[in-house]
Amino acid sequence: MNFRERITMSPNVMHGKPSIRNMRFTVTQMLELVGGGMSFDEILADYPYIERDDILACVQFAARVIDSRSAVSFI
């Protein structure tokens, strides 16, 4: 799975912050849920429009950002 297919950045959505499939759900929001201890199954139950691959894409994106100087170069 390629996170570039799921993580988008558009000036018209969430002021250009990385978000999931151009929805008003940012990578940061997802990472806060995962970091707060929610399981993937809990997230999927609470947010039915989110898919498992969306969660994985957020984690992959975050790993790339931490390992690089700029997130923009990956999208």
DSSP result, 4-63: GGTEE-BTTBGGG--EETTSS-BHHHHHHHHHTT--HHHHHHH-TT--HHHHHHHHHHHH
Domains defined for the chain, CATH in brackets: 3-68 (1.10.10.10)
Residue-by-residue pLDDT tens, the chain, 75 positions: 788 899 999 999 999 999 999 999 999 999 999 999 999 999 999 999 999 999 999 999 999 888 876 555 555
Instruction: Report pLDDT for 66.
Output: 86
Instruction: Report pLDDT for 1.
Output: 72
pLDDT in tens, 31-44: 999 999 999 999 99
Distance CA(15)–CA(59), nearest Å, equals: 21
Distance CA(45)–CA(10), nearest Å, equals: 27
